[in-house]
Structure 1
């Protein structure tokens, strides 16, 4: 019988079966892309820092032990970029885990967290019946290893952390969690007593030291490859303060000045660059 000759009831039944099949078999999500540099900075290179290896080992540990990692650091030090870089390589056994990324909306609730998880896992969002949704979600989490990365997790309140604990403590769940927070967000995590006994790895991302700046920044961008070490030290002391995001901003503005300069002079001590950075980079909180 041709599709056109089917009765409406038969067509509706066939359509329902297709929808149920799609709900049971979520489409494969693409692998994480190579992370992009801040401001899409042209010519920037990814420079693996020593703590990248600690991050890779930590991911391997929490996936194998089904534990929680707390990744903290000041804004702009490169937490998310480093995590994306390491996840793109997918160390074993994290390579086998299904990656789930969440960025909670402002003032999240368990209901919004359910909705975000439904979108991330391609689940049918039966949010009108939280019990049915939770049962389906727990079934998915039990089917294979999952690595749940929650960026800006300091936005979560106590009820959201309790919901994560509920999922994490399911004896059948194959779930590891990475909680990424800013420096001031550590206080939020410390108030969550449920995390203390479940955290397998706690890693704080450091700022670049002056020695790191001299070693890393010339490898970060060709603009600084031949720069004088003292010039890099002055830039870092006055504006960047070991913060990778601020170095990307300074590089962006230096390149912009070069495009309009009549001669390519050494940029670091150039008064024009200092004026531009003074006007565009906000004073660092440590100053």
Structure 2
């Protein structure tokens, strides 16, 4: 998880220890989304982004509008959305949740099919677009819906227009969250119809160095007793405040600790330089 900085909104705007870690508290299987690589003992860190996402979702649902969430790959956009939605406190009006990840370059016809699957519309599949649209609009009018579209930059203008058509229908009650990478923001910005229909633009940036020192020891027991200089060194060299990179570094470090005669001291820089550098490709600092 990472913190977040809300961008100016638009017209409808209100944005380890060395030893084996102790087992984490058991949770209900659906309570929290899994961490990257299903990292054992990883903990969801309560950073500002969760509250910002929660507030943004409430606003989007209340206004039946779009919410655009963007940021560099791996900073925690999808994890933040999943974490907040898993709490059950959002959306406020108990909207039915649908989720889809469009394939590259989807057509409106393909989007219709994915929407039917995402919203469990088993009786809405039809080769006739008009019949399908009527069934979909009837479903969206029956109760509140929240649709989360990950990798939204894959959509083209025709697909965005179809989503606009669903939001603008006077009988439907649907809010749509569009999540995109930092480079995908340009795709969203080009869609003029989003300007007046977006309740929140929310940027999820990488962790700052101060946040790394605070959050990473809480993220996983492996780093609880690492000194600040070691964390700063690994972050500067490989992770750059990116939670996915930190999950990768933790995954590789845990594997190394399981080796016979492994050096179990992760408090200094030597192990990080000699062992992790060879396992993580260089990463650009987006901060």
State if a TM-score over 0.5 links the two structures: yes
Determine which of 102, 113, 120 is the counterpart of 2:100: 102
How far 1:91 moved relative to its partner?
Answer: 2.2
More helix by share: 1
For 2:24, the equivalent position in structure 1 comes to none
Q: Output the TM-score relative to the length of structure 1.
A: 0.85
Distance in 1 separating the partners of 2:164 and 2:199: 14
For 1:236, the equivalent position in structure 2 comes to 235
For 1:47, the equivalent position in structure 2 comes to 45
1:114-125 → structure 2 map (5 Å cutoff): 114-123=112-121, 124-125=123-124
- The reply on whether 1:189 has 2:188 as its aligned counterpart is yes
Deviates more, 1:69-78 or 1:255-264: 255-264
SS state at 1:280 partner = coil
SS state at 1:36 partner = coil
How far 1:159 moved relative to its partner?
Answer: 0.5
Determine which of 38, 60, 63 is the counterpart of 1:62: 60
For 1:19, the equivalent position in structure 2 comes to none
Residue deviations 1:234-272 (CA, integer Å, cap 9, x gap): 111111000000000111111111111525532253545
- Determine if contact 1:235/1:268 at 8 Å carries over to the other structure: no
Determine which of 78, 84, 87 is the counterpart of 2:85: 87
- Determine if contact 1:63/1:93 at 8 Å carries over to the other structure: yes
Runs of 5+ consecutive residues of structure 2 not aligned to the other structure: 1-28
- Gap change, CA 1:255 and 1:94, over 3 Å in 2: same
For 1:152, the equivalent position in structure 2 comes to 151
- Determine if contact 2:95/2:143 at 8 Å carries over to the other structure: yes
Let me know the Cα RMSD of the aligned residues: 1.7
Distance in 2 separating the partners of 1:191 and 1:72: 14
Residue deviations 1:66-110 (CA, integer Å, cap 9, x gap): 111000010000111111000001324446000000100111010
Which structure's relative contact order is higher, taking Cα pairs within 8 Å and 6+ residues apart?
2
For 1:215, the equivalent position in structure 2 comes to 214
- Determine if contact 2:102/2:111 at 8 Å carries over to the other structure: yes
- Determine if contact 2:164/2:193 at 8 Å carries over to the other structure: yes
- Determine if contact 1:63/1:147 at 8 Å carries over to the other structure: yes
Runs of 5+ consecutive residues of structure 1 not aligned to the other structure: 1-30
- Determine if contact 2:256/2:262 at 8 Å carries over to the other structure: no
SS state at 1:279 partner = coil
SS state at 2:44 partner = coil
How far 1:48 moved relative to its partner?
Answer: 1.6
SS state at 1:200 partner = strand
- Determine if contact 1:32/1:84 at 8 Å carries over to the other structure: no
- Determine if contact 2:33/2:83 at 8 Å carries over to the other structure: yes
Distance in 2 separating the partners of 1:256 and 1:212: 26
- Determine if contact 2:30/2:86 at 8 Å carries over to the other structure: yes
- Determine if contact 1:94/1:147 at 8 Å carries over to the other structure: no
Distance in 2 separating the partners of 1:106 and 1:82: 23
For 1:279, the equivalent position in structure 2 comes to 278
SS state at 1:147 partner = strand
